Structure 1
C-alpha cells in the first residue's frame, strides 16, 4: 500500500488504505506510532493521521497515553463473527472427511501463541476423539500446531517455544526445541504432521495446513490409536490435502 499505487478497479481507496493500516498494525503486534505507520505504508503523515483519527472515532483503533496507537476492542466483535464464519465454511469439508474416513475431523487456528479449535465434526463411533470447540492448547503437542508452524521460519518457532515452554502432557510429548524443529522439517517435507499420543495417550492425529488462509489454519483427522492405522493415515493425507485446498478456495 503506497501513495503512488493505483486502487483496484471499482474499489474505494480510503477503505483500502484504512484496512491496510489495520493489517499493518496487526502484523506489528497491534501497536504502532504514526511515523512507523507512515514508513510501513508509504503514505504521507497527513493521510495517515486522517485515516487513524477516523478509525479512533469508530472504535477500531485507540490512542494510548504514550501517543502510540493500538487496535481497539471493537475489532473483537468482528473477530468473533469471523471465527464463527470460518467454522461454517469448514463444516462441509470436515463432514466429508468423516464420511470417507470414519474418524473425527477438526479445524484449528494459531491465535497468538496458542492453538484454538474452531470446528469439529465428530466420528459416528461410540468411542471417538472429541475436542471442544474453543479449546486452547499449546502447539508443540498437536498435529494441527505442527502443520501450521512447519510454515514458519525456525527462528520464529523457537521464539514462540521460549515464550510458552514445552510442558510434557504424556510420555510421548516432544519437550525440546531441537526435536520439535526436526518434526517441523519432516512435516514441511511430507506436507502433513502427526500427533502420536503427545497431547493425550491413546489418541493419534494427522493434520495439514490450509494453504493461503487469511489466518494460520489447519485441519485434522483424529481418533483412537488402534483405529488410526498407517493405512488409514495414508488414506487420510490426500483427502485432508484436497479438503484444505477446497476450504482455501472457499475463503478467498
Structure 2
C-alpha cells in the first residue's frame, strides 16, 4: 500500500480549510498558489468536492465557495456539542433518581448511536459503551426516534429495514412495528423488554431542539428483574421529564409545540 490516497485526503482537507478566510469565492489559480499545488490537481479536487456538495462554483465569477453540505456538517457538530452540554446534568440526575444506567441516543440510518451514557452503580448492570450502535426496531430509543421522525423517513425505514429477530419478543412485522410507533407517538415514550437481548429492558423519551424537532432520545436501561419492579407509569414520567428538561436547555418550549400544532 502507498500513502497516495491519504495525501489526496490531506490536500482536500487543506483546500477546504483555505475557505476559512471567509472570502466570497476563490479561483483555481489562487487556491493552487496558497496550497502549493498544480492547477490541474486543484481542479480535480474541486470537481470531486463539488460532486459531493462540499464546494460549489459561482456561475458568475467561476470561483468556488463552500457548499451547503459543509454548513449541514457544521450544524451536526453544533447539535452534538449543544446536546452533550444540555444533557450532562440531566443524565446524572436521571441515573440518581432511577438507580439505573442512563443514556442519550441519536438516529443514524437504521441504527441508534449512544452519544452519552452514565452507568448504573448496581453490581449487576449493563455495559453499553458510548458510541455503540444498536438497531432501531428493538430498542426504546430507536422506537422514539423513528416514531417522531418524518413520515417519509418512517415509511422508508419500514419498507427497507431488516427487522431482524434477536429474541422471541422482537417485532419483525412492518405493520406491527407501524402500530407500535403510533403508540409511542400517542403516549410520548417507548419501552423495550426482552426485545434486543433477553433479560434487558429500557424506556426512553424524546429530546427536542428549539424548533420542536426530535433530535435525540434519553432513556434508562436495566435488567428486566429490576425494571419490572419499578412502577411503569412513574418511570415513564421521570424519563419524559428528563427529556423535557434537556429539550428546554436546547431552547424548546411547550409554546413551540403549540404553534406547530396550530400551523
Instruction: Return the match for 2:196 from 177, 193, 199.
Output: 199
Assess, with a 3 A threshold, how the Cα gap between structure 1 residues 187 and 167 changes in structure 2: closer, same or farther: same
Q: Distance in 2 between matches of 1:129 and 1:184?
A: 25
TM-score by length of 2: 0.65
Q: CA deviation at 1:53?
A: 3.8
| Higher Rg of the two aligned structures | 2
Matching residue of 2:156? 159
Count of residue correspondences? 198
* Equivalences for residues 222-233 of structure 1 within 5 A: 222-229=221-228, 231-233=230-232
State the 1:75 CA deviation: 6.7
Against the structure 1 CA distance between its residues 212 and 80, is the aligned structure 2 distance closer, same or farther, given a 3 Å change threshold? closer
Name structure 1 gaps, 5 residues minimum: 1-14, 16-29, 35-45, 56-60, 62-69
Matched, 1:98 2:95: yes
TM-score normalised by L of structure 1: 0.68
Aligned position for 1:247: 246
Structure 2: give runs of 5+ residues left out of the alignment: 1-21, 23-51, 252-263
CA distance in 2, matches of 1:96, 1:232: 18
Distance change (3 Å), C-alpha of 1:79 and 1:190: closer
1:168–1:49 Cα change, 3 Å: farther
1:117 matched to which residue of 2?
A: 114
Tell me how far 1:234 sits from its aligned partner. Answer: 2.0
2:118 aligned with 1:108, yes or no?
no
1:202: Cα distance to partner? 0.5
- Write the distance in 2 (CA, Å) between the matches of 1:208 and 1:199: 18
Give the direction of change, closer, same or farther, for the CA distance of 1:127–1:84 in structure 2 (3 Å limit).
Answer: farther
Where does residue 71 of structure 1 map in the other structure?
Answer: 69
Residue 241 of structure 1: SS of its match in structure 2?
helix
2:187 corresponding residue in structure 1: 190
Q: CA RMSD in A?
A: 3.2
Give the 3-state SS of the residue equivalent to 2:124 in structure 1: coil
CA separation of 1:82 and 1:159: change in aligned 2, threshold 3 A: closer
Q: 231-240 or 142-151: which moved more?
A: 231-240
